[in-house]
Amino acid sequence: MTGVDLGHLVAVRTRHPEAVAEAAERRRRRPLVGDSGRLMIVAADHPARGALAVGDRPLAMANRLDLLERLCLALSRPGVDGVLATADILDDLLLLGALEDKVVMGSMNRGGLAGAAFELDDRFTGHRPQDLARLRFDAGKLLLRIEPNDPGSLTTLHSAARAIDAMAALRLPVFVEPFLCRREADGRLRNDLGAEAVTTSLAIASGLAGTSAYTWLKVPVTEHPDDMAHVMETSTLPAVLLGGEVGDDQDAAYERWRKALRLPTVQGLVVGRSLLYPAGGDVAAAVDTAVGLL
C-alpha cells in the first residue's frame, strides 16, 4: 500500500483547514475523457451512506487510513482516470496530492442511509453543483432509486431533475445512477437488475431535466449479461458500467464487464469495493485487470 501519514493529515486539517481549497486551486486538471476515449473511475462514496460492508466484513470500509492507502494505490496505477467520492474523502486526497491530473467526481446525494426506514429519501446531502464548480472538480454523481409503490419517489425524481439542471447550467457533467427497486417482506430494499427494470430506469433517467447535454448514465450489468445489448439501446447518452458487489467470482464479473464494454454507448467503468477490497487482497492486480478490460 502507498503510505499515508495520518498524523500529518490531521495536523493540516486542525491548523490549516484552508489548505483544502488551496490544494484544489493548484490541482492540475485534465479532460473528462482522455486520449484513450475510455474512462476508468474508482468509487469510494459508500461510507457516507453508512454502507461500510465488503462481503462478510461489516465494517471493512470504516478504517479511513486503510481506505485512503487503498485509494492512493489504485489512483497510482496506469490507466486509472480518477475517483468518485464524498467531500471528506476528496479533501483528504487533495491534501495528499493524489488528485493531480485525475478526474474528480463529487458524490451529491447520500441521504438515503443503508438500511434506514428513509433509505429511499435520497436527499442531496453531499456536494452541491456550486461546490463542484468552486473546487474545480470535473463532474458529479447522483443516485436515483425509484420504488413504484413509494409516493416519495416523485420527490426524488424532482430533486434529481433540478440537480441535473443546475449542473448543466455550470457545464458540469453529471453521472446519474438509476434503479427501479422494491421493498422485500423483511423491509430490505432490493434493486431490480432484470432487463425490463434496468431498461425502464434508463429511459426515466435520460428524460430528466431541461437538457441532457451534460448527463451520463451509470448503469449496472443486468442479471443476464446477454440482455445488456438490448438494454443499452434505450438511450444515446454516454454510459459507464457500475461495478457493484461481485462476490468471490471476480473473473466472472470481469467477463460480464468485458462484454458490456463492447457496446457503443458504454464508455468506461466506475468500480469501488471490488477493486479496493478484492477477494484475493491484491488491489494493484485487481485495478490493472479492470483497466485491461478497457
- Per DSSP, the residues of 31-83 read -SS-TTS-EEEEE---GGGT---BTTBTTGGG-HHHHHHHHHHHHHSTT--EE
What per-residue confidence (pLDDT) applies to 107?
98
All three cell numbers of 192? 431490480
What per-residue confidence (pLDDT) applies to 126?
97
All three cell numbers of 257? 464487464
Alpha-carbon span 10 to 293, nearest angstrom? 37
Strands 174-183 and 189-191 come out as antiparallel
What is the chain's pLDDT, residue by residue, as a tens digit (294 residues)?
568 999 999 999 999 999 999 999 999 999 999 888 899 999 999 999 999 999 889 999 999 999 999 999 999 999 999 999 999 999 999 999 999 999 999 999 999 999 999 999 999 999 999 999 999 999 999 999 999 999 889 999 999 999 999 999 999 999 999 999 999 888 889 999 999 999 999 999 999 999 999 999 999 999 998 999 999 999 999 999 998 776 667 788 889 999 999 999 999 999 999 999 998 899 999 999 999 999
Question: Where in the chain are the domains?
Answer: 6-293
Query: Which residues 6+ apart lie within 8 Å of 35 measured at CB?
Result: none
Name the amino acid, one letter, at 45: D
What per-residue confidence (pLDDT) applies to 26?
94
Alpha-carbon span 217 to 236, nearest angstrom? 10
Q: What is the DSSP-derived secondary structure letter of residue 149?
A: T
What per-residue confidence (pLDDT) applies to 279?
86
What per-residue confidence (pLDDT) applies to 250?
76
Alpha-carbon span 201 to 195, nearest angstrom? 10
Q: How confident is the prediction for the chain on average, in pLDDT?
A: 94
What per-residue confidence (pLDDT) applies to 128?
98
- CATH (residue range 6-293): 3.20.20.70
